[in-house]
């Protein structure tokens, strides 16, 4: 049995166990990369819709600006925020109509060098696949529809592995370019790659010179009423998850695993 099959089998076995009770004093941030596209992390549209409906039923859905206030926990249910990384075109053509129909707000983190182009970035999954990216006009439309835009750096490097001057450029220039193109403030940042090897205390310190809130891809929950806005944890959704696995991920069943 190969590794992907073992991973799916183990995930479904763990998800079949009784789920822990949801903690209303927690914020869970959901991370999507691709809906309806060719990526290895692609979520099929019908699964994406089912996940959004499940979230609306079981979670208080937040907007990005809600993180800047001391949110009291909802006594009846935990809170969730939906995010997208990388700015793949499918997020606009496939995910956006479903978000609109289900009335779910989201945050889209864009790498500014890739706006409106077709390329084969080495950082995609699988590496070097053909990718189309959102244009500036489409990003402005997302804002007009009530969604939020954040920075995902300029060129999507591992920020923990680049020189200090390049780090400053990746953080400052991406925000400047996005704000010029959008005509709106861009106060949030999502770490490229986002796992524990993609940042360190120096990287987080420099991020928060330029941004007021940042997101990692380290699995886990964030405490309310006032979460730590530096490197918020997220749950990266995989395409093979059925709704039971998705619910188990949101309940913290898999928090012990490294992202």
For residue 8, the surrounding DSSP H or E stretch is helix 3-15
In this prediction, the residues of the chain whose per-residue pLDDT falls under 50 are 1-3
Domain 21-250: give its CATH architecture.
Alpha-Beta Barrel (3.20)
* Other C-beta atoms lying within 10 Å of the C-beta of residue 98: 18
Tokens representing 217?
A: 């891809």
Reference 245, options 7, 26, 75; nearest CA is 7
Q: What is the pLDDT, as a whole number, of residue 258?
A: 58
**C-alpha span between 152 and 109 (Å, rounded):** 5
Q: What is the pLDDT, as a whole number, of residue 111?
A: 98
Q: Please spell the DSSP secondary structure of 185-222, one letter per residue.
A: ---EEE-SS-SGGG--HHHHHHHHHH-SEEE----S-E
Tokens representing 63?
A: 């907007």
**pLDDT single digits (tens) 202-217:** 999 999 999 999 999 9
Q: What is the pLDDT, as a whole number, of residue 7?
A: 65
DSSP letter (8 states) at residue 113? G
* Other C-beta atoms lying within 10 Å of the C-beta of residue 128: 11
Q: What is the pLDDT, as a whole number, of residue 244?
A: 95
**Residues in contact with 243: Cβ distance below 8 Å, sequence separation at least 6, in sequence order:** 47, 50, 51, 54
**C-alpha span between 106 and 147 (Å, rounded):** 5
| Spans of all domains in the chain | 21-250
What pTM, to 2 d.p., does this model score?
0.93
Tokens representing 127?
A: 């590496």
Q: What is the largest CA-CA distance in the chain?
A: 52
Q: What is the pLDDT, as a whole number, of residue 1?
A: 46
Q: What is the pLDDT, as a whole number, of residue 259?
A: 55
Q: Is 242 exposed, middle or buried (0-12, 13-18, 19+ CB in 10 A)?
A: middle
**pLDDT single digits (tens) 82-127:** 999 999 999 999 999 999 999 999 999 999 999 999 998 988 877 7
Q: What is the pLDDT, as a whole number, of residue 225?
A: 81
**C-alpha span between 200 and 197 (Å, rounded):** 8
Q: What is the pLDDT, as a whole number, of residue 2?
A: 47
């Amino acid at each position: 049995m190969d590794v992907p099959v073992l991973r799916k089998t183990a995930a479904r076995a763990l998800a079949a166990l009784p789920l822990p009770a949801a903690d209303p004093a927690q914020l869970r941030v959901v991370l999507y990369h691709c809906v309806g596209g060719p990526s290895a992390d692609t979520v099929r549209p019908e699964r994406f819709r089912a996940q959004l409906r499940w979230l609306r039923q079981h979670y208080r859905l937040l907007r990005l600006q809600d993180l800047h206030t001391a949110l009291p926990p909802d006594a009846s249910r935990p809170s969730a925020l939906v995010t997208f990384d990388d700015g793949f075109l499918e997020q606009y053509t496939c995910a956006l109509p479903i978000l609109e129909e289900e009335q779910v707000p989201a945050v889209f983190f864009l790498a500014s060098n890739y706006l409106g182009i077709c390329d084969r970035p080495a950082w995609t999954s699988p590496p070097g696949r053909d990718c189309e990216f959102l244009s500036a006009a489409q990003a402005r439309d997302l804002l007009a529809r009530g969604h939020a835009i954040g920075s995902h750096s300029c060129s999507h490097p591992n920020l923990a592995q680049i020189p200090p001057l390049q780090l400053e450029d990746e953080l400052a220039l991406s925000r400047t370019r996005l704000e010029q193109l959008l005509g709106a403030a861009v106060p949030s940042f999502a770490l490229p790659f986002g796992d524990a090897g993609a940042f360190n205390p120096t990287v987080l310190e420099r991020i928060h010179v330029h941004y007021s809130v940042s997101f990692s891809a380290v699995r886990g929950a964030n405490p309310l009423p006032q979460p730590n806005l530096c490197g918020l944890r997220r749950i990266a959704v995989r395409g093979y998850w059925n709704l039971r696995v998705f619910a188990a991920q949101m309940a913290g069943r898999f928090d012990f695993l490294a992202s």
